[in-house]
Amino acid sequence: MKLPVHYHPTTTVLVDDSDSFLRSLSFQLDPAQPNISFHDTVAALEWFGRSVRSADLPLLVNFDDPHQSVERRNVTVDMARIWRISAQPKRFTIPSVLVVDYSMPQMDGVTFCQALQGLPCKKILFTGAADERIAVDAFNRGLIDRYIRKSAEDALDQLERDLAALQKQFFLEHTETVREMLALHDFGFLHCSAIARVVDELYRTHDFVEHYVFPNPSGILFYDRAGKPTLMIIETAHGLHAQYEVARDSGAPPSLLLALEERRVLPFFPHVGKDGMYTDEVGEQWHRYCRPPEVCQGRETWYWALFELPSRFLDSKPASFDTFLRSQRPAEAA
């Protein structure tokens, strides 16, 4: 299991020549995932041509000094660009997964997928019993990512499972290069499957709908549907020791120093500066800004806790998923 650098709801595209099937399928899918339906393949291809792409929400990667020789350059990542994606409502309209029927009069589903081969969206093909060999061939050629027999009793359940898996895969592939770079530095938790499982559980238990890697303090910024931010701070033993050293050098109370030394608290002091570290302004009120850490044993030992994130840590206001859904009229078949 891997953790993408960021994740947010996207749009599922449904293409089938049957209006009744499209209406039924759209109704049965998870309402938390936007979808748009087409019974006309030409109209669907035109829509894809106009659609927002992941590249329209870039993660900026650059060289720190372009005048250096290639061998001496350091690669830099604009970390703020990651969580600032949350300010762009068009992120929800990115087509991440296509669900298309094979047997259609204008254009069969494999030909349709072939026409979209240059796009990064994932593709699921609905087939009839007689079309399975065609689907296997399309899968082997890399034209589709999954196929489902339309007549199968568990077709809808399988579709929901495949949609969830492919939407996550969409983000993993889009952010893979950045993820590998960040994991080499202060974001090693991006390589940890144990942390990825914790994040999945937090989605379920706190009704989060999106997340973004956050730089300082390092961790993961979650948003719920209303756009409320929650920061999951993730530290190593080394990071907690750095917290201890800063607090000690700033004259922190012995009670805080002992709690940090024994790793009984994970601190976040948001009212001073923007790094959450201790200053002498905190004083004896330190316990108000600390949480008992949860321990996650993975590739190394991680200590994490959830904190409310003050708005001054974010220089842009998130465009919430609820606001986006209210702005959308029910998608009608083209």
Tens of pLDDT, residues 224-253: 999 999 999 999 999 999 999 999 998 999
Q: What local confidence, expressed as pLDDT, does residue 313 receive?
A: 82
Is-contact 38 121, C-beta < 8 A?
A: no
User: Looking at this protein, which amino acid is placed at residue 21?
Assistant: F
Which of 21-25, 86-90, 236-240, 303-307 is predicted most confidently? 303-307
Secondary structure of 272-318 in HEC code, one letter for each residue: CCCCCCCCCCCHHHHHHHEECCEEEECCCEEEEEEEECCHHHCCCCC
Tens of pLDDT, residues 130-186: 788 999 999 999 999 999 998 888 999 999 999 999 999 999 998 888 888 888 888
Give CA 120 to chain center in angstroms.
16
Task: Round the CA-based radius of gyration of the chain to a whole number and report it.
Answer: 23
Read off the tokens for 18: 């049957």
Q: What predicted TM-score, i.e. pTM, was given to this entire model?
A: 0.88
Tens of pLDDT, residues 173-215: 988 888 888 888 889 999 999 999 999 999 999 999 999 999 8
User: Looking at this protein, which amino acid is placed at residue 158?
Assistant: Q
Confidence check: pLDDT of 333 > 50: no
Is-contact 160 35, C-beta < 8 A?
A: no
